[in-house]
Amino acid sequence: MTIDQGRRVRVERHRFLRYAVACPFCGTTVGPRFVTREHLDVPPNPPYAATVRCPKCREEFEVLFSDAP
């Protein structure tokens, strides 16, 4: 099974925690409250990624946390 790269965004974790990540479909800002699943299988520190459902357009996408500050 392949992952649609349009449903995957890479961001710094602190931006996600501050609700500074835009939905790739509609631009609504999202954060931890909208997580539907945490992914613990991608290094370096858990959680490594999260599946998020946008509250406005209801699309799901993956947020991969970068290790850059």
Per residue in 4-35, pLDDT (tens digit) is: 777 899 999 899 999 999 999 999 999 999 99
- pTM higher than 0.95, yes or no? no
Strand partners, 62: 8, 51
Query: pLDDT at residue 57 above 60?
Result: yes
Query: pLDDT at residue 69 above 50?
Result: no
pLDDT band (50, 70, 90) for residue 45 = low
Query: pLDDT at residue 2 above 60?
Result: no
Phi, psi for residue 53 in degrees, rounded to 5: -110, 125
Question: CA-to-CA distance for 42 and 19, rounded, in angstroms?
Answer: 22
What integer pLDDT is reported at residue 53 of this predicted model? 96
Considering only CA atoms, which of 29, 14, 5 is closest in space to residue 52?
29
64: Cβ contacts below 8 Å, ≥ 6 apart: 8, 9, 10, 11, 42, 48, 49
